[in-house]
Amino acid sequence: MFHPETIAVVGVSLTNDRHPANVIYNKIHLRYPVKVYPVNPRGGFLQSNRVYPSIGDIPSAVDLAVIAARAEFVEEILKACIEKGVGGAVIVSGGFAESNRTDLQKNLVCLAREADFPFIGPNCLGIYAPNRFDTFFLPGERIIRPNPGSVAIISQSGGVLVDQMVKFSEQGVGLSLAVSIGNKALIRELDLIHHLDQDPDTRVIALYIEGFEKNEGRLFVETVRGIQKPVIVLKAGKTAEGSRAATSHTASLAGDYRVFSEVLAQQGILEARNEFEMVSFCESLSCYHRPISGNIGIITASGGHGVLASDACTTHGLSVPQLGDADRAGIRESLSERLRAIASLQNPIDLTGSAEDDDFVAAATGLSQVPGIDCVILLLLPYSPGISSDLGARMSYIFRGQNKPLIAYVPHHEKYRMLIEGFELNNVPVASSIDGAVLMAEALRRCRPC
């Protein structure tokens, strides 16, 4: 289902090019290296391409069917897919359990289970596989596509998933796979987690969850505990109002959030409290899998930024320990002569706006060798005159040999792209805010060993 060579899009319109099925078909046909077939009972032609009356009329094997037809027609379409020997389906169509039409959804599940036929949905966007294919019924020119990477996202909500993709792109987090499961009538989070645990392209698994079936939450925790990759959970339905909204959205049972959250923490499963934390955690854990105790060293060119970072560290349960006399003396000696008299080396190390690349390199080299520091946060202001675009790559090289995580903060603007890429190309996460950098460190402290 995630590596199809042929796709059939069922439900295309011969008169309305904005129909969801047409959007999906056109996008796959024009953008992706798979063979795609349009299906409509009337047959005919769509943009000079033959439209097949049924999926059974397609002359070749079909790996994946994308179904975007009215709910009452989906069961018959699914039967045709099974008879054809299709590999699986994405059911985009809505109008099932989320609309209190549970009978229609149950019929699909019974049919699929009897035939051992996998499908995702209904009421979903389906699958986005970078550079392979995309079943989202969103125009290609409107989708923000993160670069290929190592984070996989599973989401009950298509809208939340697309919004996270925007945030991932802004933050430079790459995707291996994104799956919108909607009502998750058949394929659920646990099925996808098992698959992704074996997927060589995925290093981090992130989930947006609205609710579970009865007793499924316990099974979820037990399953994730045995997964060898970091798993990050963003849980919705935390309040009575949110639970009610979740039920009407994807027919989910939100359950007791407080108990679920406490169990996640006990088992070392990382919970993101909001979308912002989700992005920060994903970026950090896609770069580093080794947990830290939480003793943070901070290097900055601005005293104010150092204070803000120290406060944020304390708020998130991280420590900013003072450096010993010998450590401070060693770092001071390595700085340029004009900076020795003005730099503050208490931790945060404030090199001031007069620092140049060599001063940052010297301070980072010294701090990376302090035994009591197990992670360094670097706060860079690229408008400082002494900082060059090469600094990101130079700093990354230092920490590559020290086995200590380096996390950078650089304002995200196109002007500073070269500096940011110097870090990212060397697998160092770069936050767009001080809080984001601290959250990346928190993720390393809270995650269990992998």
pLDDT of residue 226: 87
The CATH number of domain 144-287 is 3.40.50.261:
yes
pLDDT of residue 255: 56
Extended beta strands in 124-203, E state: 126-129, 133-134, 148-155, 175-180
pTM for the full predicted model: 0.90
Contact (Cβ atoms closer than 8 angstroms) between residue 54 and residue 41:
yes
Residue-level pLDDT, tens digit, the chain, 450 residues:
999 999 999 999 999 999 999 999 999 999 999 999 999 999 999 988 999 999 999 999 999 999 999 999 999 999 999 999 999 999 999 999 999 999 999 999 999 999 999 999 999 999 999 999 999 999 888 899 999 999 999 999 999 999 999 999 999 999 999 999 999 999 999 999 999 999 999 999 999 999 888 888 889 998 998 898 999 999 987 655 544 554 544 455 445 788 888 888 888 889 999 999 999 999 999 999 888 999 999 999 999 999 999 999 999 999 999 999 999 999 999 999 999 999 999 999 999 999 999 999 999 999 999 999 999 999 998 888 899 999 999 999 888 777 889 999 999 988 899 999 999 999 999 999 999 999 999 999 988 765
pLDDT of residue 397: 86
State in words which class domain 1-122 has.
Answer: alpha beta
Torsion sign, CA atoms 283, 177, 168, 121: negative
Measured distance between the N- and C-terminal CA atoms of the chain, rounded to whole angstroms = 28
Residue 348's alpha-carbon distances to 113, 196, 337, 378, in angstroms, are 59, 39, 20, 10
Report the DSSP pairing between strands 6-10 and 204-209: unpaired
Contact (Cβ atoms closer than 8 angstroms) between residue 2 and residue 127:
yes
Every domain of the chain and the residues it spans: 1-122, 144-287, 290-446
Distance, CA of 420 to CA of 431 (rounded, Å): 9
Give the number of other Cβ atoms within 10 Å of residue 325's Cβ: 8
pLDDT of residue 239: 52
290-446: CATH topology? Rossmann fold (3.40.50)
Query: Would 1-122 and 290-446 be classified into the same CATH topology?
Result: yes
In the numeric block, which tokens belong to residue 33? 């290296």
